[in-house]
Amino acid sequence: MDDKLKRDTEALLFASGRAMSEEALCNILNAFPKDIKRVLKELHDEYRERDAALMIFQEGEAWKMLVRDAHIPVVQRV
């Protein structure tokens, strides 16, 4: 279930296009707060460690997926 929860969380952050609160993620995914916090931290660390073009960013109790600054110029061409 952890892998599915992580993939579902990642998909929601991508598809929403905005910051999502941990509470909203818990409600949508029917998950416990401690599990959401854990997968968000794991996703954040995984994206950072592989120096991905995207990053998982925390703003208070909300999280969002962003394009790293280095890749903004190419994304702006779309």
Instruction: Say if pTM beats, i.e. exceeds, 0.85.
Output: yes
User: pLDDT tens across 12-52, in order?
Assistant: 999 999 999 999 999 999 999 999 999 999 999 999 999 99
Structure confidence at residue 2 as a pLDDT band (50, 70, 90)? confident
Q: What are phi and psi of 50, to 5 degrees?
A: -95, 5
CATH 3.40.50.1000 assigned to 2-75: no
- Report pLDDT digits (tens) over 63-74: 999 999 999 999
Which run of H or of E encompasses 53? none
| pLDDT in the model for residue 69 | 95
pLDDT at 47: 97
